[in-house]
Amino acid sequence: MKDKNKKVKQHTIATDSLLYIFTALLIIYISRGKVSINVAGIIVDSGRSSGILSVLLTLYSAHVVLRCKKSGMINSLILNITEILMLSSTIFIKKSLEATPGIAIVAGGIGVTVLIRHFQIESDKNEEKLENLVYLDPLTNIPNRRYFMKKLSELSEKPGCHFALVFIDLDNFKAINDTSGHETGDCVLNEVVKRWNMQKRKNEFMARLGGDEFAVVIPDYTNENILRNRVESFSVALNEKFYCNGRNIFMSACMGVVRYPYDSTDINSVFKYSDIAMYNAKNSGKKGISYFEHSMVSGIEKAADIFDQINYSLENELFYIVYQPQFSLRDNELRGFEALIRMKDKDGSLVSSDLFIPLAEKNGLIRDVECWVLSRALNQFKPILEKCNRKITLSINISAVHILHNEFINDINLALEVSDFPPENLELEITESAFLVSVNDAVRKINILKKSGIKIALDDFGTGYASLTYITKLPIDLLKIDKSFIEAINDNPDYDSIKFINTIISMAHILNFSVIAEGVETQKQLTELTNMDCDYMQGFLKGRPVSLREAEELFLS
């Protein structure tokens, strides 16, 4: 397109220049020879003839400037000045002022040329401002979705072109807006873009698609390893904490990668697939990077079905709860139960919570789901507590998205009030990600809950971002060691995992935290945990999740 425009400009300048030169020579000839022109019986003397022809010169000049802008103006000025010098020479040679009108008109043409160019410059500036409004994101000052799609389409039209499209979605960004305000959220977005701009190479292209979604194009990568390094560099750029409006905030992102033309030659499909790959990364956990595979398309359709089922289950109360027992390793006494939500699909098959819980988080339904669990579990378990005076704990999982919601404290208090459930028998299990978005806000809310007697457990300990860094600052009562470390006890003959678990338990006891191990399934795991002085356990070895009736029987036995 640029080459075509360049050829058009060159043709315009050449044509107008030839016409200009021909007309200019004709003016000089008429002026020097005092030639009169007979037009329909009317005699036009040489002075008037040169003046009329000089008007044509002005028109040529205006035309070339309008068509060719800066290069046209330069060409026009050269020709106009040359014409003035040539006309002026006739005045000195012939000692006649007959060329004066022509000189005046050409000089006027110079003024018209400069004026036209001035208005062109102003028009271009206004056009640029308008284009910025249309194509630039006003917050981050990088291209928006509209310009990105336009650029992507142009890029795909280049012969032999190949590139990777990276679709990026920030983790837990909604929680930042909910807890710290949109001003802090805007600050985070700008800081994220600053880091990515420093990371981005000259030939790479980045845009904000909307909200907390971004896209990066990595063109002409030479091999898959280089591509992976480039993609990972954008993730690594977020590792260091952000400081916005007086708050320390940790950010991460999930990324979906599609390769053109390898995965698809259709731009709309490329964009759609990148979103699908990102969604797959979200389901795999925070900070995930997923490369598109065609099998993911059926996976996204399945996810859409599950999302519909979540809504349907909420509306018709089709979820149900099972209770997994927890035991003391010192005396084998029942400590309590963890309430686990379950959901079946339309065919009656059980849907893994690892599938529908992340979906509920991503689509803004997790608060509704967890409020249902709180209400149902507390109301179900309250009669059991009343039958026995034993100290028993009911544990309920709370997502980071929910705990950072403005109504979180009210949700907990309402569930306790309606059910009349004693707060000292309730334990909320949270993950480290609840603290990583906004430590101050999460700690403040947890301290409020602890004042009412509620216990706090840190779930999946050892799999987070900065466990040892934050553990001393968190107002928790219990550490829950992730089952992946417990599983490794059977697999690691060198006992590296045992040493790691032993370190966690020792550190927790020094800080006056209790420790519970989840996923205990073998006698070897139980023996090692007992030897390491672990406080509690839960797992299939001693108790699978059971119904409310079975939990009551176990509790009263």
Could you report the per-residue pLDDT of 228-270, keeping only the tens digit for each?
Answer: 999 999 999 998 888 888 888 888 899 999 999 999 988 888 9
For residues 401 and 57, what is the distance between their CA atoms, to the nearest angstrom? 72
Mean pLDDT of 450-472: 75
Sequence-ordered alpha helix ranges (H) in 420-476: 433-437, 439-451, 467-470
Instruction: Note the pLDDT of residue 32.
Output: 56
Average of per-residue pLDDT values in the chain: 82
Reply yes or no on whether the pLDDT at 2 is more than 60.
no
For residues 139 and 169, what is the distance between their CA atoms, to the nearest angstrom? 17
Residues 6+ apart with CB under 8 A from 328: 334, 335, 535, 536
Confidence of residue 398 (pLDDT cuts 50, 70, 90): very high
pLDDT digits over 186-244, tens only?
999 999 999 999 999 988 999 999 889 999 999 989 899 999 999 999 999 998 888 88
| Rounded (10°) angle between helices 366-387 and 295-316 | 50
For residues 265 and 271, what is the distance between their CA atoms, to the nearest angstrom? 11
Pairing of strands 478-481, 455-461: parallel
For residues 441 and 516, what is the distance between their CA atoms, to the nearest angstrom? 26
Q: Which two tokens stand for residue 124?
A: 């271009």
Residue 454, SS3?
A: coil
pLDDT digits over 144-156, tens only?
988 898 888 888 8
Instruction: Note the pLDDT of residue 439.
Output: 72
Amino acid symbol at 59: L
For residues 446 and 188, what is the distance between their CA atoms, to the nearest angstrom? 24
Q: Which two tokens stand for residue 468?
A: 């040892």
Reply yes or no on whether the pLDDT at 283 is more than 80.
no
| Residue 410 vs residues 190, 339, 403, 404, 415: alpha-carbon distances, Å | 32, 20, 11, 12, 9
Reply yes or no on whether the pLDDT at 487 is more than 90.
no
pLDDT digits over 76-102, tens only?
677 667 766 766 766 666 566 655 666
pLDDT digits over 154-168, tens only?
888 888 889 999 999
Q: Which two tokens stand for residue 527?
A: 């023996």
For residues 9 and 402, what is the distance between their CA atoms, to the nearest angstrom? 61
Residues 6+ apart with CB under 8 A from 7: none
Amino acid symbol at 202: K
Reply yes or no on whether the pLDDT at 46 is more than 60.
no
Radius of gyration of the chain (CA): 38
For residues 388 and 400, what is the distance between their CA atoms, to the nearest angstrom? 33
pLDDT digits over 423-446, tens only?
999 999 998 777 766 677 788 899
Strand partners, 185: none
Residue 178: CB atoms within 10 Å: 20
Confidence of residue 466 (pLDDT cuts 50, 70, 90): very low
For residues 101 and 47, what is the distance between their CA atoms, to the nearest angstrom? 7
pLDDT digits over 370-380, tens only?
999 999 999 99
Q: Which two tokens stand for residue 349?
A: 């098959």
Sign of CA dihedral 456, 462, 463, 466: positive
Instruction: Note the pLDDT of residue 91.
Output: 64
Instruction: Note the pLDDT of residue 45.
Output: 54
Confidence of residue 36 (pLDDT cuts 50, 70, 90): low
For residues 340 and 354, what is the distance between their CA atoms, to the nearest angstrom? 12
| Whether 514 contacts 492, CB under 8 Å | no
